[in-house]
A and B are shown apart, each in its own frame.
Chain A
Amino acid sequence: MTTTRPTPPAPARLALRRVLASQAMLTAGTLLVVMTLFTVLFPGKFATLYNLQTLMVDYSGIVLLGVGLTFIMTSARFDLSVGAVLVFSCVLGTKAMGALGGASGGWGVVLIGLAVCLGTGLLAGLVNGLLIVKARVPSIIVTLGTLSVAQGAAYVLTGGVDLYAVPKVMLDHIGQGKLLGLPIPIVVAALAVAIGSFVLSQTRFGQYTCATGSNAEAARRAGINIDRVAITLYLISGAGAGLAGFMSLARYGSTTLAAHQNDNLTALLGVVLGGTSLFGGTGTVVGTAVGVFIPGVLSNGLVMMQVLPYWQYIIVGIVLIAVVYINLVKRRGRTEGG
């Protein structure tokens, strides 16, 4: 096995400068400023274990979607279907668990529910990937289509009425459960970020992803099977949506048909804030995880300020444009400076 990775002759000083200049750092800095502000404004309220934990739990599902989306967008593609696939996997998962005992079901039933949710996500990912690769329909169109199909299928299968046949053990021990003092949804999201980050930054598959994103034709000529890479990417994204669906069921105990409509965009926002290029080629999973929390922290603080959440949209929009603009200016400066 030959490693084709170029080893940059970067001295530590240069690497440090790159970290400081990176957008992930800019995003982390923005988040820190906002958090410090709210900590000062609301002493004993914002910076409490309760608030920060519930905040992280509330956005853990978005992080799961964001990990998959980071891969997709690094490869210069889109996935608009994850929010709908999430709800659809909730529906199939609940149907399966309902048939096997519902609320009184044990861990076996929960495991089957997990398998069904993940399977649904993977299937949706496979359909997305195959259509994009084989039929050569642009990813934004394919996933817009599967978004609609998944949403419609969720309504058809439920008759538009939420299902609640979720085992109690799943609600108590996964949705509300803790591991080493940390809520399980946070643990799951952190694991997904760790694995996703490792795969994207340290493995050959991760390199292939970046390569297809920065120049698909060059990657193909270099011998990368870009079709297989694309399908794998959509499988990852689908699995993320399926897992997010399972965790949503564990938290809400409901198929939440009317919910999750914003999730796709919120996750996309986190990905972009986190430094993944809209044009592909570069991306970091950790940046996404940080980026997701900017809108989360802003809306949390605005509720504490007793502002109706309309302002949150305006502020998040301004922050998004500002962060990406500053990053572009920096990048331009770097290119001009050699």
Chain B
Amino acid sequence: MRHLSTAALSTLLLLTAAQPAQAQTAPKKYKIALILGTTTDNFYTSMQCGAVEAARKFGDVELTVQGAPRWDATLQTPVVNAVTASGAQAIAIAVNDGRALFAPLKAAHDKGIKIIGVDTRLADSSFVTSNISSDNRALGAEAARTLAKLMGEKGTALIPPITPGITTVADRIQGFIDEMKAHHKNIRIAYKGVSEDASAFSAAFAANPDITGMFLIANNEALVAAGAIRQLPAARRDKISVVSFDAAPALVDALKSNQIQAIVAQKPAQMGALAVETARKALMGQSVAKSIPTGGVGLTRANIGLPAFAQYVYKSSCK
């Protein structure tokens, strides 16, 4: 008998589904949606700020910013589908998985929506209008060169454990390892593991008393590692050089207090602004470059006070 209610429900579902889509009034604004990698990372907050700022400047862009709170392709997919259904004309997205997001984005594209990759990209981006991103391998290699110099071209470098399945981070690490192996042969790479556990850092320090360098691969990992470094005895802590990725405010504080010696900052705000600009151009029918690289900036204690460098510190809110 309970099935009765379900039958009634499914009938209603079908009825609502059959209702024809209403004709849209001619849009005066370009409806652009930005879908962040996660909504909980300062990197993407900065991207959002850059995009919002750009949309405000243009005046004719209706920007919506969406995302899931965790890096999870199965959480991002329903967001893409809902944004697609809500009538966006262009979607700029940092995909959580280069292949898993292919089908929903292809479906959006087939509905006439322009797709733009930001930060990360699809493995098959043949239908994507443009890709805006850092060259993560190149930045990883840059981090290796910086760290090697700080370590005096010798010693043991630690790579922290990472959350599995994130291609941009994997690229960074690959770029770092390739550069070390090719040009800095006296530096041993101590640990490359897969874990989300903060205590893994402390264990790695305990197991490798000769660590004098660390490469921290992203905001969250770096914050955890910074905590682990702080717990070390001062004599040992002072011998460790740290190069970190991403300029979250907390990490910049660590840089200023010399817990971190260098930061490779990406340009997320520029990525966000470029995403809006590129989407708008594409919607106006202008041609856009298929690939738009955004570079990195090396931040140190010496230059962080200068406005030219300080502008690259990530934002925790847009104000």
A, B from the same assembly: yes
Interface string of B62-76 (1 = CB under 8 A from A): 001111111111110
Is B85 in contact with A259, judged by CB distance below 8 angstroms? no
Nearest CB of A to B44, in Å: 11
Cβ of A44 within 8 Å of any chain B Cβ, yes or no, is yes
Closest chain B CB from A199 CB (angstroms): 14
User: Which residues of B76-97 have CB atoms within 8 Å of chain A's CB atoms?
Assistant: 77-79, 81-87, 96-97
Whether B9 contacts A290 by the Cβ 8 Å rule is yes
B166 within 8 A of A: yes
Query: Which range contains the number of A residues in contact with the other chain?
Result: 35 or more
**Are B17 and A48 touching (Cβ within 8 A)?**
yes
Check: B4 CB closer than 8 A to any chain A CB: yes
Q: Is the CB of B64 within 8 A of A306?
A: yes
Contacts A32-B12, A309-B39 given; indicate if A55 touches B86 (C-beta within 8 A): no
B101-147 residues at the A interface, CB under 8 angstroms: 102-104, 107, 111, 123
Q: 1/0 contact trace for B1-35 toward A, CB 8 Å? A: 11111101100110011110111100000000000
Instruction: Let me know if B21 and A44 touch, CB within 8 A.
Output: yes
Q: Choose, from B157-165, B242-250, B295-303, the stretch at the interface.
A: B157-165
- B254 adjacent to chain A (CB < 8 Å): no
With A44-B24, A48-B21, A252-B74 known as contacts, the answer to whether A175 contacts B81 (CB < 8 A) is no
Give 1 or 0 for each of A146-163: 1 = CB within 8 Å of chain B CB. Answer: 000000000100111110
CB-CB contacts of A286-300 with B at 8 A, as 1s and 0s?
A: 110110000010011
Q: How far is the CB of A306 from chain B (nearest CB, A)?
A: 5
Q: Does A279 have its Cβ within 8 Å of any Cβ on chain B?
A: no
Please report the C-alpha to C-alpha distance between residue A254 and residue B9 in the assembled complex, in whole angstroms: 34
Establish whether residues B13 and A256, one from each chain, have CB atoms under 8 Å apart when the complex forms.
no
CB distance from B271 to the nearest CB of A (A): 19
Task: Give Cα A53 to B84, complex, Å.
Answer: 12
Q: Are B2 and A284 in contact (CB under 8 A)?
A: yes
Please determine whether A161 and B85 come into contact, CB atoms closer than 8 angstroms: no
8 Å CB interface, A251-307 against B: 251-263, 284, 286-287, 289-290, 296, 299-300, 303-304, 306
Q: Report whether B66 and A54 are in contact in the complex, using a CB–CB cutoff of 8 Å.
A: no
- Do the beta carbons of B99 and A262 come within 8 Å of each other? no
* Interface flag for B292 (CB, 8 Å): no
Instruction: Give chain A residues whose Cβ lies under 8 Å from the Cβ of B103.
Output: 171, 175-176, 251-253
Q: When the two chains form the complex, which single residue of B1, B16, B64, B163 contacts A39, counting CB atoms closer than 8 Å?
A: B16
| B79, chain A: closest CB distance, angstroms | 6
**Interface check B194, CB cutoff 8 A:** yes
Tell me the complex Cα distance, A31–B16, Å: 13
- Chain A residues, Cβ within 8 Å of B102: 253
CA distance A286 to B194 in the complex (A): 40
User: Which residues of A from 27 to 66 have beta carbons under 8 Å from B?
Assistant: 28, 31-32, 35, 39, 42-55, 58-59, 61
- What secondary structure prevails in chain A residues at the interface with B? helix
Nearest CB on A from B14, distance (A): 9
Residue numbers in A under 8 Å from B96 (CB-CB): 258-259
Which chain B residue shows the least CB distance to A56?
A: B13
- Nearest A residue (CB) for B162: A160
Whether A28 pairs with B9 at a CB distance below 8 angstroms is: yes
State A256–B166 Cα separation when bound (angstroms): 10
Stretch binding the partner chain, chosen from A15-23, A67-75, A113-121, A223-231? A15-23
Interface residue B282 (Cβ < 8 Å from any Cβ of A): no
- Contacts A48-B21, A303-B66, A309-B68 known; A16 to B73 CB distance under 8 Å? no
Give the CA-CA distance A240 to B292 in the complex, in Å.
44
Cβ-based interface call for B189 (8 A): no
User: Quick one: given A309-B67, A309-B69, are A43 and B81 in contact (CB under 8 Å)?
Assistant: no
| A205 interface hit (Cβ, 8 Å) | no
Q: Which of B74, B97, B164 has the most CB of A within 10 A?
A: B74
Q: Is A96 an interface residue, CB under 8 A from the partner?
A: no
Contact indicator A300/B66 (Cβ below 8 Å): no
Question: Quick one: given A47-B19, A303-B82, are A259 and B5 in contact (CB under 8 Å)?
Answer: no
Contact of A43 among B22, B74, B77 (CB under 8 A): B22
CA distance A43 to B24 in the complex (A): 10
C-alpha gap A252/B74 in the complex (Å): 8
Query: In the complex, how many angstroms separate the beta carbon of B76 from the nearest chain A beta carbon?
Result: 9
Residues of the A chain whose Cβ atoms lie less than 8 Å from the Cβ of B163:
258
Select which of A53, A161, A286 is within 8 A of B164 by beta carbon.
A161
Q: Kindly state whether residue B100 has any CB partner on chain A within 8 Å.
A: yes
- In the complex, the answer to whether A28 meets B5 with C-beta atoms within 8 Å is yes
B166 touches A258 (CB 8 A): yes
Contacts of A197 in B (CB 8 A): 3
Q: Which residues of A are in contact with B by a Cβ distance under 8 Å? A: 15-16, 18-19, 22, 24-25, 28, 31-32, 35, 39, 42-55, 58-59, 61, 155, 158-162, 164, 171, 175-176, 197, 248, 251-263, 284, 286-287, 289-290, 296, 299-300, 303-304, 306, 308-310
19 residue pairs from A and B, CB less than 8 Å apart: A31-B9, A42-B86, A44-B21, A44-B24, A47-B17, A52-B13, A52-B17, A58-B77, A160-B194, A162-B97, A162-B164, A252-B103, A254-B99, A255-B165, A262-B75, A299-B79, A304-B86, A308-B66, A310-B69
B interface residue numbers (CB < 8 A to A) = 1-6, 8-9, 12-13, 16-19, 21-24, 39, 64-75, 77-79, 81-87, 96-97, 99-100, 102-104, 107, 111, 123, 162-167, 170, 194
> Lowest 5 CB-CB distances: which A-B pairs, in order?
A44-B22, A160-B164, A252-B100, A160-B194, A51-B85
Identify 12 new A-B residue pairs, CB closer than 8 A, beyond the known A45-B21, A259-B72, A263-B74. Answer: A19-B1, A45-B86, A45-B87, A48-B19, A51-B85, A54-B107, A55-B82, A161-B164, A162-B167, A252-B103, A303-B79, A309-B67
